[in-house]
Chain A
Amino acid sequence: MKCMHTKLPDLLAKIQAAGKKLRPETKVTINGLENIKTAKFASLRLGRLEEEIIEITEDPEITEVVVEAVPFDPEIIYTSVAKGYTADGRCKIAILDDMAGSIPTVEHHLIDAEVVDDRRSAGHKQTQF
Chain B
Amino acid sequence: MKLKYRLLPIGGIDGAMPLNWVFIDRKDIANAALTEYEAVKVIAEEFKDSAAAVDILDTDCVSVSSDGIMNPIAVTAIASVDHGMINNTYGYMPLSPIPEYEGIYEDEPHMRQWHLPQFKGKELHKGPNAKDRGGERLSHNETMTLTGRIANNNCGSEAFDLVNMTEILIFMSAANEIMRDGEVIVKVAGPEVSVGIGMVVSERWGRIFGGTNLGGYKAGMSAHNSGVYAKTVKSDYPAVAAPKEKFMALMLDALDTGLIVGRHLGSSPALLMTAYYYGAPIDLEHISDRAWIELESIGITKELLSKPVKPYTREEMIAHAEEIIPGMKDAKRYKVSEIVEIREAEVKRETIA
Contacts and interface: CB of A to CB of B under 8 A. Distances in A.
A107 B87 contact: yes
A104 interface: yes
Interface in B71-115: 82-91
Interface in B103-151: 136-138, 140-142, 144, 146-149, 151
A125 B88 contact: yes
B23 interface: no
A104 B144 contact: no
B160 interface: yes
Interface residues of B, number: 28
A68 interface: no
Given A100-B140, A102-B142, A108 B87 contact: no
A100 B87 CA distance: 20
Interface residues of A, number: 20
Contact of B160 (A73, A75, A102, A106): A102
Chain B interface mostly: loop
Interface in A9-58: none
Interface string A51-93: 0000000000000000000000111010000000000000000
A126 B90 contact: yes
Given A75-B140, A102-B144, A128-B88, A108 B149 contact: yes
Chain A interface mostly: loop
Contacts of B309: none
Contact of B86 (A102, A111, A128): A128
A127 B84 CA distance: 11
A105 B91 contact: yes
Contacts of B83: 107, 110-111
Interface of B: 41, 44, 82-91, 136-138, 140-142, 144, 146-149, 151, 153, 160, 162-163
Interface of A: 73-75, 77, 100, 102-108, 110-111, 123, 125-129
